[in-house]
Each structure stands twice: as C-alpha cells, then as structure tokens.
Amino acid sequence: MKPTWLITGGAGFIGSNFLRLAYQRTDGRLVILDALTYAGNLANIKDLLTQPNVEFIHGDITDSDLVEKIFQNHNITQVINFAAESHVDRSILGPKAFIKTNIEGVFTLLEAAKNAWNGNFNNRLFLHVSTDEVYGSLKPNDSPRDETAPYRPNSPYASSKAASDHLVRAWNKTYGLPTLLTNCTNNYGPWQFPEKLIPLVILNALDGKELPVYGDGLQIRDWLHVSDHCEALLLILERGKVGETYNIGGNCERTNLTIVERICDAVDGLLDKKMGSTRSLIRHVTDRPGHDRRYSLNTSKLNRELGWTSKQSLDTSIPELVRWYFENREWAGKK
C-alpha cells in the first residue's frame, strides 16, 4: 500500500517548498491541511492542486474533529507538521494565537495520530518541524547549540515552539509514538511571506521604501536555503532514527545588517542604479523587546549520521532571490 502523507501548513513558505519536492520524490498520496491564515497562500501550490495524488483540505490543526476525520478517511501514514505561528514580532503583540496553534494544535495532531495508529506504528512517522530559537540566545564566542543543549526560549513564539517540542518528545517516550523532531535555522527562499527580514527588505528596496533595521543590526543568524531544509527533511523521513532530534542549519552566520546591505547591492545591480545606492534607505529603528543576539546550530549529528550538508550559498542566492521577488511582485501583493 502506498503511503499517505499529511502535510500541515503545506500552503505556507517552507511547507509549499517541501510539497513541491515531495511531489517529485514520492509516489504516495499528499494531503495538505492549511488554515490559510495571512501566511498561507494557495497561489504557492496552485499548480500542484490539480494532480491526482494531491488533495487540499482547508482547516485548522486545532480542530480535533476535522483532524481525526482526516486520519480516518485518508489512512495517514506520515505526518509532517509545518503548521505554526512563526513571527516573533506578532507573538510579542498577541501571544494567544501562538499558544493555540503551536501548543494546542500540536497536541491535537499527536492525539489524532496516536488514536488512529492505535499501537500499529509500522511504517508510521510523525515529523515535527521546529526552530533554533528554542535554545535561546548565544554570546559571540559560544559554541553552536547541539541537540543536547538545554531549552532557553526568550519570546512567546520560541516558548510556544519549545512547549510543542516537549509534547512531541513526551508522546514518543510515553506512548511509543514514532516521532522525529527537527530544529532549523533561519530559512530563506521563494514564496516566503513578506514580513520576514529577507523578503521584506527586498520588496521595500525594489519600491524605494525605507529599510528598517532593529537596533544596531548586529544580531547574528544562521541562514539556510529552504531547498536545503526540505532535502534534509526528506532524508530524515527516510533514514532518521525514531525518537531522535536533528538540527538543520546552513553554517552561514551573518549579521542582519550584512544581509540588508547585500540585498541592497543586489537590488542596485538588478535595477542598474548608477547614481546612489539603495543602502541609503537603511534606517536603524528601536530594537524589539527581548531580541536574541545570536542563534547558531551544530549540525554535525545530521552530517555524521545521515550524510547531509547544505549546498546553497547565501551570497549567490540573494541576487537570484531578488530577481524572483521582482518577477513575482503580483504574488507578493505588488503591482
């Protein structure tokens, strides 16, 4: 019997990129569950929705009745959970939605999987996609965090993701649910909602708008191309050890200001600006509360056990991504 994958949040940024890769690599059935909130967009996957082995269901992972029916009606064998509220700024302004989706939603999925599979865990997997932010902020000379590092989340978003990670671990240890957990660094790539740093700066720069940078802009993030992330997830689904956690990172630490400046240079090159620089649009604004200074992940476990390494270069990807957003301005709500 062919597998049936439930991909939650499959119309979002990472979920839609994963769906495209999964469609190419598996002959199983792909069921997408997405609430289509502000960050979910059917335009991300519209070309796949006509395929016979792809089905879209509009709904929320917190809807236990709906989730249970999906498991029953589709004989789900794998769950890949991307569904999450994921923007730190939004979590500071309104944490309730993050508690509901990121904690209650994951609980609903875990319970539905446990009840539907009913101890028959052969060829079943529950993959939960999480974030490096659960490990908290690092100092400049701190070593990258590995999978044994303690959780020290500092924002409502990171705290809600940390809680969901603990639930996944508990359902594996208590009920034997075959889970896999991944923590990834900052993703970039096509179809990313324009509230995150890279697409926001690209679109503002293309429009000649100010480019806000929090504080001094020297916060450090590790950057991972979404295609590398999705390749890692497929590899973990295929060969990962049940019950384990895997860090996924790009080994590409950059300050936020460096990212903004490189985007400016790429926009200047695309628009053939001969006078002046888009860098003049950079504006340093008041830092957000509790802004973590640095994130960094040790990915040696994934490299060593499964042979995965990132392939995409941020430096070469930024000009390509600037062009993608320029050519897809209608998708981004621009004319």
* Catalytic one of 85, 104, 133, 147: 133
Give the model confidence (pLDDT) of 22-68 as tens digits: 999 998 999 999 999 988 899 999 999 999 999 999 999 999 999 99
What the chain holds in terms of domains, given with CATH numbers, is 4-189+224-251+295-311 (3.40.50.720)
Which residues are CB-neighbours of 30 under 8 A, at least 6 positions away? 4, 5, 7, 10, 19, 22, 23, 53, 54, 55
- Mean pLDDT score, 208-228: 95
* Catalytic one of 135, 157, 188, 325: 157
pLDDT band at 95 (very low <50, low <70, confident <90, very high): very high
Among 134, 12, 117, CA closest to 61 = 12
What pLDDT sits at residue 334?
57
Cβ atoms of 232 and 268 within 8 Å: the answer is no
Give the model confidence (pLDDT) of 13-22 as tens digits: 999 999 999 9
pLDDT band at 306 (very low <50, low <70, confident <90, very high): very high
What pLDDT sits at residue 274?
64
pLDDT band at 195 (very low <50, low <70, confident <90, very high): confident
What pLDDT sits at residue 73?
96
What type of residue is 20?
Answer: R
pLDDT band at 275 (very low <50, low <70, confident <90, very high): low
- Mean pLDDT score, 174-196: 95
What pLDDT sits at residue 330?
84
Concerning whether 133 is annotated as a catalytic residue, the answer is: yes
* Catalytic one of 85, 104, 132, 253: 132
The larger pLDDT score, comparing residue 145 to residue 275, is at 145
Percent residues over pLDDT 90 in the chain: 87
Q: Which residue has the tokens 């993959």?
A: 127
Give the model confidence (pLDDT) of 65-90 as tens digits: 999 999 999 999 999 999 998 878 88
pLDDT band at 329 (very low <50, low <70, confident <90, very high): confident
- Mean pLDDT score, 303-317: 95
Residue 188 Cα to chain centre, angstroms: 9
Q: Has residue 243 got a pLDDT over 70?
A: yes
pLDDT band at 218 (very low <50, low <70, confident <90, very high): very high
Which residues are CB-neighbours of 149 under 8 A, at least 6 positions away? 135
pLDDT band at 276 (very low <50, low <70, confident <90, very high): confident
Q: Has residue 146 got a pLDDT over 80?
A: yes
Residue 143 burial (CB < 10 Å; 0-12/13-18/19+)? exposed
CA dihedral 282, 283, 284, 285 (to 10 degrees): -140
